[in-house]
Amino acid sequence: MFAKGITAYFVNHKLCFPQRFYAWQSLVAPLLAAAAHYGILSLINGFIWQGDQITSVLIFLIGILPSFPLFMFLYGLFGGRDKDTLDELKEAVALTGAMRWITHWGFYEPTHLGARLSPLHGRFPITNRTEAMEEARKLTEEKVKL
């Protein structure tokens, strides 16, 4: 998967359109958040695990869904989202229908809280958003109305 993603990046850059790689949002902040997330869950698991099946299942269940808000908080805390990408995430949450409460409280709010508390928030902005939004507007205007 990793090799496929790297290959796709370079093929798209060469054949489709120039790609911009934002190292902080795509690599550094996720790795920092993942390391902190792993450390916190390892600490919690050290207290919970008793070497039996029940505590193993409990740890598994904690790792599946309840740990997503923790990771999203850490991603926001490590400066993974700027103001525009937080706004984009908020707009995306509004599109999720019946799952809105999960996406709002599980993804948007923890990320927003982390970004608010972060000294890194806004230091690594996505600089091509204006051009991307303009291109999206133009493509929407060109869309054939059915």
* Helix, strand, coil in percent for the chain, rounding step 5: 75, 0, 25
Which pLDDT band, with edges at 50, 70 and 90, does 79 fall under?
very high
Name the average pLDDT for the chain: 89
Token pair, residue 52, equals 């039996």
Spell out a b/e string for 98-108, using b for 16 or more CB atoms within 10 Å of the CB, else e.
eeeeebbebbb
The CA distance from 48 to 60, in Å, is 11
Give the DSSP H or E segment for 43: helix 29-48
Q: Mean pLDDT throughout 96-103? A: 93
Closest Cα to residue 65, out of 94, 115, 99? 99
Q: Which DSSP state fits 78?
A: T
pTM exceeds 0.85 for this model: no
pLDDT at 10: 84
Q: Cα-flanking dihedrals φ and ψ of residue 11, to 5°? A: -65, -45
Token pair, residue 57, equals 């299942």
Q: Is it the case that residue 143 has pLDDT exceeding 80?
A: no
CB 24 within 8 A of CB 79: yes
